[in-house]
Each structure stands twice: as structure tokens, then as C-alpha cells.
Amino acid sequence: MFARFLLTLGCLIATLFAEPLCAQDSGSDTAKDTAKDAEAGSTLVLGNPGGNSADATSKSDASAEKNAENAKPRSLLDESSKKLIEPKRLPVKSVSGTTSEKATPTPAKPKSQAGNASAQPKISNPPSAKNSAATTSSDTQPTVAESKATLRPIEPKKLIEKPSPDGGEAFLMRYKFEPGMVVRSEVTYLSKNGTRIDSVQQDATSRTVSMKSWRVLDTEEDTVTFEYRIDEIDMSQQVGSGNEVRYSSKEASDEPPPIQFAGAADNVGKVVSTISIDARGMVVARSDTQNPPHLGMGDVTLPLPENPVAVGATWEIPREMRIPRKDGSSRLLKFRELFKLEKVSAGIATISVRSEPLSTISDPSEEAQVLQQLSNGTIRFDLDAGRMVSKDLAWDHEVVAFSGPGSVLEYSARLDDHLVTVDTDTRTATRPNNAAR
């Protein structure tokens, strides 16, 4: 029962803050069907990294009513097991900028109230295609002109910022990349889950370790365009007392990967998405046709405040999600991602992050559907280098009576995303002074 809920998350995560690897769809099977799927082995797919969870609101009520025939609740992870549909390339704008229609207007430069010009991030002018190559795992270097991805515009998220009540030294936080730079990170996801319905206990554990990379294709004013790839992946899962199922992309084998990991295995070494962000980490364009689900891991980047901030300052991003209800209707829930600058030491900013529901959720069956949306943890950001150093998130939840009296759902997980290497073919610029004076 709810086996797909127990299996999927750990096998879908190969990226971060935000970057999940599963495609999500509200038209999933009911809890009754998932028990049957577990016996045959549920299918896991590799989707797109990061994303804007507000896209969940675009699903119509009619779709939710059609797929809520069973009165028992359906988890978010039940919904994530649909097969991946290869994104269609929309003729919006090529990365090389050769088409006549522009995908995204140049974002306005962030305003600084600090009055210190040296604190403003500097992004180099776009180089020629020949010099903007990004190293790939096969040692070939694709240029911007060679990239065939077309990008669709994304409306940048709106931040709600609150200054520190104590004042103090303020810091301007901005992303900084150079063409040809390759940033590699390792992401480890561990989960332990359990459900009990009518005294029947079902437990599951999963583990995913992946290597992801950002290969910077181009920088233009305050916009950076990069390819997001999954270079390696090692996955395992176990349900109850059954045998552990494993897959590693590093182990050569003539046998096909287990069906649970087939989607993820097929995407290793490929460009998952081409993404453009501004200097504040806001996604302004991407190649995939639909934003991936949020899953409580945040976006592909850490959103940064517009103005310099002191320790104690907070900023938040509102988001929404639509869930099906037992009566066949649907409900729109509101959340927020709350960030707080906790400290700055040796040029590293420590930022706490917490996902919080703004809508009242009193029905256990609805609460069970949003467990994975509610994480909390810590992000470390290098102010001088202009990139995230690490992100640690945790989930620890229990829902009683989610499927009638005597039912209990437990969900515990950990995500560790940390920087491994940064390769570049450009000279390192002088370290700027990030303190706003």
C-alpha cells in the first residue's frame, strides 16, 4: 500500500535546491493501484532539474476530478511515476541567439543600496562561439552556436524581502560564472519511509548518489546560460524484506538496468535541460517544455535578494500547489520558501531555508500529499566566488489516520548537495569586496 510513495523519491533525486529527477502528474493511479504496481516494480523516470512549483496550479479542476475516483489519498510520489515525455523544442529562441524572436528580455540589473561599485558583480561580455566551449565528459567542447536547444521564457519569481532588525554590515550576493566554466556537484539522497494500514506495515529505503554538472555556454550582461547534466548516478532501493535493487552507471554491464531505474539510466551523460538564470539566480528561460515539480528541494539555484542584506535579514518566495480531494474536487494550497542570512564567516554566507504551508491543512489525507514539500535545512554560499558551496535538507514527518483509523504514514529523508570541482579555461578575476559599505 502506497508502495510507489515509499519507493520513488529516493530513486528520483539526482540533483538539488532543488533539482529533482522525476516528472510529476496529478493523473496518477490511486493508492489501491500502487500496491499492485509495487509487486511488479514501479517505474522511475528522470525528469528535469529544479523548477517552479507554481506550475502545479495550471492543472485544471476537471483533471483532478477525473483522477480522484478513489476516496483514498494519493501521495505526490504516486503522481511522479509517469513516463517521461521528451520535451518538444519550442521555436522561441536559440541559445546562440540566431532566431529573430527573443525569448527573454534582458533582466534589469539588480539595484544596490550599498553605494559601493566594487560590490556589484561583473559578468563578462559574450565571447565568440569558439571560445565559449564547455567541457563535456567525453572531452569535447560544445559551443553556443552548436547548441540546438531553444529556450522558453520564464517569468522571474518575486521575492519578499525584510531587512535585518539589528542592522549591521550588509552583503551583496550574486552568482558569477564565466563561459567555459564547468561546475560539478555531488548529490546524496537517503530516505526511510513506512506506512501502516489496518496493522499491515510496509517499509522501504532508498539511496541515490549522483554527479551533476553545469557547463556554462554563454554570459550576456546579467544572464548566464548553461547546460545541466547528470554525469553519473548510483541508485538502490529495498522494500520490506525483499532483495535490494541496485544500479550504477559506472559499472559496465550488458544487462539492461532494472525497470525502476531505466528512465534515470537513459539520461546519464545527456543534457537534461539548458537553463538561463540572472545574477540573482532567478530562472529566466529554459529548454524543457514544463517546469519540473518542486518536491520540497527548491529551484535549480538559490534565489538571492535584490539588495545587500545584513545578518538576520529574510527573503521568501511564495508558491502554490493544487491537490485532489476525497470528494473529487481539488484544492489550491499556498506555501512559502523562507530564507534567512544566519551568519557570514570567511566569505561564506550561511543561509537557513524552511518550507512552510500558508494554507491551513487539517485533513490527514491532504497532509499526506504535501509531506515532501516541507523541508528545512542550510545553504552555504561563497560570496566572492559567486556560487553555492553546499545545501543540506531534511524531512521528518508523520501523519496519523491519513487513510482511515489505524493508518500511519512516516517519511524521513536527507539531501546533501555539495560542490566538488570547478573547471574553467579563463583566468580567475580579482576577488571583489562583497561587503556593502
CA distance 435 to 250: 43
Distances (CA, A) of 10 to 37, 264, 295, 366: 17, 12, 11, 22
* 3-class secondary-structure state, position 360: coil
- pLDDT for 388 equals 97
Would you state the pLDDT for residue 298? 73
The pLDDT of residue 254 is 86
Beta bridge mates, 234: 209, 248
Between CA 180 and CA 424 the distance in angstroms is: 6
Say if residue 392 is exposed, middle or buried (CB neighbours under 10 Å; 0-12, 13-18, 19+): middle
Share of the chain residues as helix, strand and coil, in percent rounded to the nearest 5: 15, 35, 50
Distance CA 381, CA 389 (A): 5
The HSE-up count of residue 110 (CA atoms within 13 Å, CB side) is: 29
Give the model's pLDDT for residue 157: 83
- Measured N-to-C along each axis, helices 31-40 and 3-12 cross at an angle, to the nearest 10 degrees, of 60
Which element (helix H / strand E) includes 312? none
Q: 127: closest CA among 271, 225, 229, 214?
A: 225
Task: Please give the full DSSP string across 178-205, using - where no structure is assigned.
Answer: -TT-EEEEEEEEEEEEEEEETTEEEEEE
pTM (2 d.p.): 0.68
Contact indicator for 241, 271 with CB cutoff of 8 Å? no
Nearest to 411 by CA among 420, 402, 422, 423: 402
Rounded Cα distance between 205 and 412, Å, is: 10
* Nearest alpha-carbon partner for 134 in 176, 94, 179: 179
- Tell me the pLDDT tens digit for each residue of 284-340: 999 987 777 666 677 889 999 999 999 999 999 999 999 999 899 999 999 999 999
The residue type of 204 is A
Q: How many residues comprise the chain?
A: 437
Regions of the chain with pLDDT less than 70: 1-148, 293-296, 425-437
